[in-house]
Amino acid sequence: QVQLVESGGGLVQAGGPLRLSCVTPVRSLRFNLMGWYRQAPGKQRELVATASNGVLTNYADSVKGRFAISRDDAKNTVTLQMSSLKPEDTAVYYCNTRDFRGDYWGQGTQVTVSS
């Protein structure tokens, strides 16, 4: 089992920035994909952004141009830099990693954007 540890959630005003980080206890190079998902109350979990172990990144249309994902395999981390936050970005954000065995999830960190 892989235990992912997330940090950086909190309360922020609309238009402000927030940075989420996720650390893996194992070498992150084994994960062909690392990313972030979110789940708002009453809604399904949705993809926010992913980063491959190459140079490919993928973003939900709703966050393009505002969020940036990066992974540092030397530090076994994946980071989500969020800017120009909107109230609709309010959700629990989950770190996700994927290897040939399957998907691994963090415990989630709350992000609340006040208007």
Q: What's the pLDDT tens digit per position in 1-60?
A: 788 999 999 999 999 999 999 999 888 888 899 999 999 999 999 999 999 987 799 999
HEC string of the chain equals CCCEEEECCEEEECCCCEEEEEECCCCHHHCCEEEEEEECCCCCCEEEEEEECCCCEEECCCCCCCEEEEEECCCCEEEEEECCCCHHHCEEEEEEEEECCEEEEECCEEEEEEC
pLDDT band, residue 64 (cuts 50/70/90): very high
Tell me, what's the pLDDT at 92? 98
Tell me, what's the pLDDT at 1? 78
pLDDT digits (tens, 9 = 90+) for 76-114: 999 999 999 999 999 999 999 999 999 999 999 999 999
| Rounded mean pLDDT, 60-71 | 97
Tell me, what's the pLDDT at 25? 87
